[in-house]
Structure 1
Amino acid sequence: MRSGSLIPALRSLASVLTLVLLLAFARTGTAADGFVEGFADLPLMPGLEQIQDASLAFDAASGRIVVAFARGPLSADQIRSFYAETLGQLGWSGAGEDSFQREGERLTLDFTPDGGETLVRFSLLPR
């Protein structure tokens, strides 16, 4: 390959790689891999869409604090049932209505009707 044809070939390859990277990191209304953003292993229930830019997460001296929000056309009871079953499989145990605990942390789900949808707040605090 002559050096004159190498530069256009490299530019073409760079364009393709840039496009692949942009597609790989494109943001949608759901969290990456179906998990709630900010939580390593909290699945986002099918039918819920996470509210982007409404989450916060930070590490405190006593542990991590994470708050995230999602909404969808589901009832609080449907969401409650999904998480009661799913979180138990992930090592969480019940700690009162809509609360779960695991390894020094407490996860609380709060539900608010929002028109024909339900707004869910996921709150993780140290116990």
Structure 2
Amino acid sequence: MVKPRRIGLALLLAALVLPSPWSGPAPAAEPAAFVAGTEDLPLMPGLRQLSDTGVVFETGRGRLIEAYAVGPVTPDQVRAFYTATLPQLGWRPEGAGLGFRREGETLQIEVLAGGPPRTVRFRIAPAQ
């Protein structure tokens, strides 16, 4: 004869392991956000793009992009995020501050004075 304690334990384990019909589907992860005009410059979590403040322009020499984002971030957090993330996307650090270079383009990221919230400026231009 099976003891009631073992049956209860088996039911408890089954309830923990098997998906519940009441739980519904798992929430989808938020898609990665990118700086406007780019498909390869991630927007740091916590930053929100400012609409109607940037410029996206294609030239014969490459693209010119200037965009702004705001959020409750510190300059150190911005530096840490982009110095860790951008090299994985092919951007090489260049010069002082948050300057990068990749495939004939330069990227400059600047945390503007003021805030909170802080404003972050992104500028991509053809390399000189």
Normalised TM-score (structure 2)? 0.71
AA partner of residue 52 (structure 2): D
Q: What is the deviation of 1:119?
A: 0.7
AA partner of residue 69 (structure 1): Y
Q: Which residue of 2 aligns with 1:120?
A: 120
Secondary structure of the residue that 1:99 maps to in structure 2?
strand
Q: What is the deviation of 1:33?
A: 4.3
**Equivalent residue pairs, number:** 96
Q: Which residue of 1 aligns with 2:15?
A: none
Runs of 4+ in 1 over 4 A off after TM superposition: none
More helix by share: 1
Q: What is the deviation of 1:73?
A: 0.6
Identity of aligned pairs, percent? 45
Q: Which moved more, 1:79-88 or 1:112-121?
A: 112-121
Secondary structure of the residue that 1:122 maps to in structure 2?
strand
Q: Which residue of 1 aligns with 2:44?
A: 45
Task: Tell me the C-alpha RMSD between the 2 structures.
Answer: 1.2
* Partner Cα separation in structure 1 for residue 56 and residue 99 of structure 2: 19
Q: What is the deviation of 1:54?
A: 0.8
In structure 2, list runs of 5 or more residues that go unmatched: 1-30
Q: Which residue of 1 aligns with 2:6?
A: none
Secondary structure of the residue that 1:125 maps to in structure 2?
strand
Q: How does 1:81-100 map to 2 (within 5 A)?
A: 81-96=80-95, 97-100=97-100
Deviations 1:26-68 (A, max 9, x none): xxxxxx8411111111111110000011111111121110000
AA partner of residue 70 (structure 2): R
Normalised TM-score (structure 1)? 0.72
* Partner Cα separation in structure 1 for residue 57 and residue 48 of structure 2: 22
Q: Which residue of 2 aligns with 1:18?
A: none
